[in-house]
């Protein structure tokens, strides 16, 4: 099964580099990015779309759904919850450590990276049981880091900061 993983379009919290667990919609740039992505992927013959329940991902899924296929919302595709970091600038943490699989540093009440990755792994393991040829998945930067780990393993140093997708970037995977 082919999986096309898409990160949602830009939201203001991305633009201003702020941790957020708010259910924020796309900004003007994010809408433009999604419409441009729609053009780029119009020839992909996907069977279904799975999306995070967060508004920015659902809105992106709706905008890129050129084939008018069913969109299934799956809570496991939500972004890693920053907990008490929400509303704070990204620089309040060591970003390398925040996205280090082996880090023992706990930042406030943020979701543990291993639990977060396991939630994504569970989604992908479930997807293996479905009879699709091709699936679009709309998620978040953290989700794309977990996808990377699922398909490529955990890097020796455990660092994932630079391994996520940019807004409205798409990455193809082959799920066996």
Query: Out of 33, 79, 140, 159, which one is annotated catalytic?
Result: 79
Q: Is beta strand 71-73 parallel, antiparallel or unpaired with respect to 48-51?
A: parallel
The verdict on whether 28 is a catalytic residue reads no
What are 45's two structure tokens?
Answer: 């013959």
Among the listed residues 144, 153, 160, the one whose alpha carbon sits nearest the alpha carbon of residue 101: 160
d(CA 109, CA 62): 32
Q: Tell me the CA distances in angstroms from 85 to 89, 93, 103, 111, 113, one per residue in order.
A: 8, 9, 17, 10, 14
Q: Report the alpha-carbon distance of residue 175 to residue 142 in Å, rounded.
A: 19
* Of 8, 59, 140, 159, catalytic: 8
Any catalytic annotation for residue 8? yes
- What amino acid positions are annotated as catalytic residues? 8, 79
């Amino acid at each position: 099964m082919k999986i096309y993983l898409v990160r949602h379009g830009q939201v203001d919290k991305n633009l201003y580099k702020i941790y957020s667990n708010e259910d924020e919609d796309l900004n003007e740039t994010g809408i433009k990015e999604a419409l441009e992505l729609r053009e780029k992927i119009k020839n992909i013959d996907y069977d279904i779309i799975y999306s995070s329940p967060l508004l920015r991902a659902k809105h992106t899924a709706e905008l890129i759904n050129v084939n008018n296929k069913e969109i299934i919302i799956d809570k496991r595709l939500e972004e890693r919850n920053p907990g008490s970091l929400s509303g704070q600038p990204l620089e309040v943490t060591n970003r390398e450590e925040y996205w280090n699989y082996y880090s023992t540093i706990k930042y406030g009440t943020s979701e543990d990276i291993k639990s977060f990755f396991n939630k994504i792994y569970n989604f992908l393991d479930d997807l293996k049981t479905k009879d699709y040829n091709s699936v679009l998945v709309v998620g978040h930067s953290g989700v794309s880091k977990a996808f990377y780990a699922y398909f490529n393993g955990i890097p020796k140093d455990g660092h994932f900061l630079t391994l996520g997708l940019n807004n409205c970037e798409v990455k193809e995977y082959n799920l066996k």
